[in-house]
C-alpha cells in the first residue's frame, strides 16, 4: 500500500461509499472497520454497510420526493451504495427496499476485491496518527467510546452530542398565519434576532387541557435497553413534562408570557406553542422544546390540534435517540473538514445528517472532496439546488444556530424539500390553462424542484474533473460504476 493513501475510519454506509469514490479516482484507500474485533450495541454481523434496522431506502420517486431525488443523484454520481441497493432490491411498492444480507455482501465483496482498497479490521481508538494526512471519519451514530472521547476533546465541550433531542420541524408555508403570529417574547431582539422571530400558536385553557391529556394518553416509543434513559434538565420529552403536572408545560415550553395575540377577535392565550426558524432560507420552523418519544402517527394527530397547525406539514417529526454527532455547522468547513484539524474530514451520520441514504450521500461527497484535495484539484461543492448540495449546506451552514441566546438547536435531519432554495419561477398552468392550486400545485412544485436539481447536478458533474476522461482511462474506476447516464441507464418507472 502506498504511503499517500487516504484513510477512512468506519466501514458503514458513509465509509464504504467514500472509499469507493476515492478509489474511483485512482487513489489508494485504507478502510478501518472495528467489527468483528469490537462491535456496537446495534450491529449484528461483521459485514460492511450493515443496515442496523429497516431494510428500506425509502421512496424511490425521483420526481416528487427529496430522498428519491437523492437516490437518482447518487446513481448519476456512480454511487456504490445505490448500485448495491439496486442489485439487491426486493418488492416494496414505491420504496427502494433491499435484501439486507445481499446488500451488505455486495458492498463487502466489492471492497475486498478492489485493487486500490485495503480493509483493516481494527478499532481506531483515539485520534489517527499524525502521519495520516488525509482521513475521513465515518464512524456513525455509535462511534466507539475511545474515538468519540478523543473527538470530544479536540472539538471542545458541547461540540459532540451523544443523544439527539429532536423537536418536530414544520414547513413554514403550512402554518395558518390567520391564527398564529410572529413575535419574540417581550419583543426582545437578542443577538442575531429582530424581535419578531418566533411563530406563536395560541391555545385556550380548554385546548391546553385537551392537549395535555392527549400527550399523556398518546402512544410512545420506548428506549432500547442499550440506550439508557438520557433525560437531563432542559431536554425532557414534552409528554414526560405533561406527566409531571398539568401546569408544567405552561411554565416551560408553552408559557404564554411576554406575547400579545394581534388577531382582533382572539382572547389572551392560556398557553402558546412557539416555532423558531430552523434554516437560513426561512422555509422550516422547529417547535421549540417539543422533543418527544410519541410515535410519529401520534405526533401528527396531536400536534395538528394546536391552533395554527391544523394543516401542518412536517419536514421531520420529533424523537430522542442515542446518536453521536458533531455540531457540524460550527465545526466543519464547506468540504466537511474539521476547522480545528483540516486533515480530518467527517462523513455520514456523525455530521448530523439522518438516514441510510443521507449518510451514504455525505460519504460520497467526503470521498470526492478528499480525492480532489489529494490530486490538487479545486473542491467545488455541488449547487445548493441539488439534493446533495442542500444536505451539505444544511450540515455546513444553512442551519440557523440560535436566534436568541437559547440552547444550540442543530439536530440530525433527513433530506427534505425545506432544505432547498424555493422555486421562484411561475409554474405552468394545468391542461385547461388555469392556475394550479392545492395538491396539484404542491406536486408541480416538487416536480420543478427535482427537475432543477437534476439539471444543476448534471452541469456540476459536467464541470468536474472526470467530465472529459473516458471511463476506461480512469485508474481504478470500475466501468460498472461509471455515472449511470453514460452506460445507457434507463430510469426506473416511478410509482
Ligand X SMILES: Cc1cc2nc3c(=O)[nH]c(=O)nc-3n(C[C@H](O)[C@H](O)[C@H](O)COP(=O)(O)OP(=O)(O)OC[C@H]3O[C@@H](n4cnc5c(N)ncnc54)[C@H](O)[C@@H]3O)c2cc1C
Q: With CB under 6 A as the contact rule, which of the stretches 31-39, 74-82, 178-186, 383-391 interacts with ligand X?
A: 31-39
Residue 129 has a CB neighbour count (10 Å cut-off) of 9
- Of the candidate residues 5, 6, 9, 392, the single one contacting ligand X (CB under 6 A): 9
Select from 259, 228, 230, 254 the least CA-distant residue to 241. Answer: 254
Task: In angstroms, give the least distance from the CB of 45 to ligand X.
Answer: 10
The residue among 136 and 271 lying less far from ligand X, judged by its C-beta, is: 136
Task: Name which position in 104, 110, 279, 349 contacts ligand X (CB under 6 A).
Answer: 349
Closer residue to ligand X, CB minimum distance, 277 or 299: 299
* Residue 32 binding ligand X, by CB under 6 A: yes
Bridge partners, 277 (sequence order): 285
Coil, helix or strand at residue 192 = coil
Among 292, 359, 396, 416, binds ligand X (CB under 6 A): 359
Output the nine-digit C-alpha cell for 223: 428506549
Which residue, 125 or 177, has its beta carbon nearer to ligand X? 125
Q: Rounded to the nearest whole angstrom, what is the least distance from the CB of residue 116 to ligand X in the complex?
A: 20
C-alpha to C-alpha distance for 135 and 181, rounded to whole angstroms: 47
Return the range that interacts with ligand X (CB under 6 A); candidates 3-11, 77-85, 230-238, 443-451: 3-11
469 class by beta-carbon count within 10 Å (0-12 exposed, 13-18 middle, 19+ buried): exposed
The mark string for 145-174 relative to ligand X (x by CB under 6 A, - otherwise) is --x---------------------------
338, exposed or middle or buried, with CB in 10 Å at 0-12, 13-18, 19+? buried
Whether the upstream peptide bond of residue 406 has omega within 30° of 0, thus cis, is no
Distance CA 186, CA 202 (A): 16
Evaluate whether 423 touches 452 at the Cβ level (below 8 Å). Answer: yes
Helix (H) or strand (E) holding 146: helix 145-155
Does 7 help bind ligand X (rule: CB under 6 A)? no
Q: 479 is written with which cell numbers?
A: 466501468
Question: Residue 452 to residues 220, 284, 457, 458: CA-CA distances in angstroms?
Answer: 39, 20, 8, 10
Strand-pairing partners, residue 165, are: 320
Looking at beta carbons only, is 36 or 470 nearer to ligand X? 36
**Closest approach of ligand X to the CB of residue 239, in Å:** 21
CB of 39 or CB of 402, closer to ligand X: 39
Instruction: Outline where 245-344 has alpha helix (H).
Output: 296-303, 328-331
**318 touches ligand X (CB under 6 A):** no
Tell me which of 21, 40, 110, 384 binds ligand X, using CB under 6 A. Answer: 40
**Closer to ligand X by Cβ: residue 45 or 204:** 45
Q: Among 52, 90, 179, 427, which residue sits at the site for ligand X (rule: CB under 6 A)?
A: 52
The DSSP secondary structure of 418-458, one letter per residue, reads GGSPP--SPPPP-TTSPPP-HHHHHHHHHHHHHHHHHHHHH
Whole-number minimum distance, CB 429 to ligand X, in Å?
Answer: 38
Q: Which segment (108-116, 136-144, 326-334, 388-396) binds ligand X by CB under 6 A?
A: 136-144
- Which position among 101, 118, 123, 243 is part of the footprint of ligand X (CB under 6 A)? 123
Q: Is 315 in the site for ligand X (CB under 6 A)?
A: no
139 binds ligand X per the rule CB under 6 A: yes
Look at the block and give the residue holding cell 427534505: 416
Task: Dig out the grid coordinates for 326 from the structure.
Answer: 458533531
Q: Does 218 engage in binding with ligand X (CB under 6 A)?
A: no
Helix axes 356-374, 66-76, angle to 10 degrees: 30
Considering CB under 6 A, how many residues would be counted as binding ligand X? 33
According to CB under 6 A, which one of 36, 44, 54, 401 is a site residue for ligand X? Answer: 54
> Which residue number is nearest to ligand X in terms of Cβ?
12
Helices and strands per DSSP (H, E), number in the chain: 12, 17
- Among 138, 366, 403, 466, the residue binding ligand X under the rule CB under 6 A is 138
Nearer to ligand X, 145 or 470 (CB): 145
35 lines the binding site for ligand X (CB under 6 A):
yes
Q: Cα dist. 184→194, 360, 403 in Å? A: 8, 38, 10
Residues near 376 by beta carbon (within 8 Å), at least 6 away in sequence: none
Does position 21 interact with ligand X (CB under 6 A)? The reply is no
Q: According to the binding rule CB under 6 A, does residue 42 interact with ligand X?
A: yes
Binding part of the chain for ligand X, among 261-269, 302-310, 326-334, 345-353 by CB under 6 A, reads: 345-353
Q: Which of 5, 69, 106, 124 binds ligand X (CB under 6 A)?
A: 124
47 part of the interface to ligand X, by CB under 6 A: no
Chain residues binding ligand X by CB under 6 A are: 9-15, 32-35, 40, 42-43, 52-54, 123-124, 138-144, 147, 348-350, 355-356, 359
Amino acid at each position: 500500500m502506498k504511503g499517500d493513501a487516504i484513510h477512512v475510519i468506519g466501514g458503514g454506509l458513509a465509509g464504504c461509499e467514500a472509499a469507493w469514490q476515492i478509489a474511483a479516482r485512482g487513489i489508494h484507500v485504507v478502510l478501518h472497520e472495528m467489527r468483528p474485533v469490537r462491535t456496537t450495541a446495534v450491529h449484528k454481523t461483521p459485514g460492511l454497510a450493515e443496515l442496523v434496522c429497516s431494510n428500506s431506502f425509502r421512496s424511490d420517486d425521483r420526481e416528487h420526493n427529496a430522498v428519491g431525488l437523492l437516490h437518482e443523484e447518487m446513481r448519476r454520481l456512480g454511487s456504490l451504495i445505490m448500485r448495491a441497493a439496486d442489485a439487491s432490491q426486493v418488492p416494496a411498492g414505491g420504496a427502494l427496499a433491499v435484501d439486507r444480507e445481499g446488500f451488505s455482501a455486495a458492498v463487502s465483496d466489492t471492497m475486498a476485491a478492489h485493487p486500490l482498497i485495503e480493509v483493516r479490521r481494527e478499532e481506531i481508538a483515539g485520534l489517527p496518527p499524525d502521519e495520516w494526512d488525509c482521513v475521513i471519519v465515518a464512524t456513525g451514530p455509535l462511534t466507539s467510546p475511545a474515538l468519540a472521547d478523543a473527538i470530544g476533546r479536540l472539538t471542545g465541550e458541547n461540540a459532540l452530542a451523544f443523544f439527539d433531542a429532536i423537536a418536530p420541524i414544520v414547513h413554514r408555508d403550512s402554518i395558518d398565519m390567520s391564527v398564529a403570529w410572529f413575535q419574540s417574547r417581550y419583543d426582545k431582539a437578542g443577538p442575531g434576532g429582530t424581535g419578531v422571530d418566533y411563530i406563536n400558536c395560541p391555545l385556550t385553557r380548554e385546548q391546553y387541557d385537551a392537549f395535555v391529556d392527549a400527550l399523556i394518553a398518546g402512544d410512545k416509543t420506548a428506549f432500547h435497553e442499550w440506550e439508557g434513559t438520557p433525560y437531563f434538565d432542559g431536554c425532557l420529552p414534552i409528554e414526560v413534562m405533561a406527566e409531571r403536572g398539568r401546569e408544567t408545560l405552561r411554565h416551560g415550553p408553552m408559557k404564554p408570557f411576554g406575547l400579545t395575540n394581534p388577531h382582533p377577535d382572539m382572547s389572551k392565550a392560556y398557553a402558546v406553542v412557539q416555532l423558531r426558524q430552523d434554516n437560513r432560507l426561512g422555509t422550516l420552523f422547529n417547535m421549540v422544546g417539543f422533543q418527544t418519544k410519541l410515535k410519529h402517527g401520534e405526533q401528527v394527530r396531536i400536534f395538528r390540534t394546536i391552533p395554527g397547525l391544523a394543516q401542518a406539514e412536517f419536514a421531520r417529526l420529533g424523537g430522542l435517540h442515542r446518536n453521536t454527532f458533531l455540531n457540524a455547522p460550527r465545526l466543519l468547513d464547506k468540504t466537511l473538514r474539521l476547522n480545528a484539524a483540516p486533515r480530518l474530514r467527517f462523513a455520514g451520520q456523525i455530521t448530523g445528517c439522518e438516514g441510510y441514504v443521507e449518510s451514504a450521500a455525505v460519504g460520497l461527497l467526503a470521498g470526492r472532496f478528499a480525492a480532489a484535495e489529494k490530486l490538487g484539484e479545486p473542491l467545488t461543492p455541488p449547487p445548493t439546488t441539488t439534493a446533495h448540495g442542500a444536505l451539505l449546506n444544511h450540515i455546513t451552514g444553512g442551519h440557523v444556530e440560535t436566534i436568541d441566546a437559547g440552547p444550540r438547536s442543530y439536530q440530525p435531519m433527513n433530506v427534505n424539500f425545506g432544505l432547498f432554495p424555493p422555486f421562484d419561477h411561475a409554474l405552468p398552468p394545468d391542461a385547461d390553462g388555469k392556475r394550479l392550486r392545492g395538491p396539484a400545485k404542491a406536486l408541480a412544485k416538487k416536480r420543478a424542484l427535482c427537475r432543477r436539481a437534476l439539471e444543476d447536478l448534471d452541469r456540476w458533474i459536467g464541470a468536474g474533473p472526470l467530465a472529459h476522461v473516458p471511463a476506461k482511462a480512469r485508474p481504478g474506476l470500475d466501468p460498472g460504476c461509471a455515472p449511470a447516464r453514460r452506460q445507457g441507464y434507463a430510469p426506473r418507472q416511478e410509482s
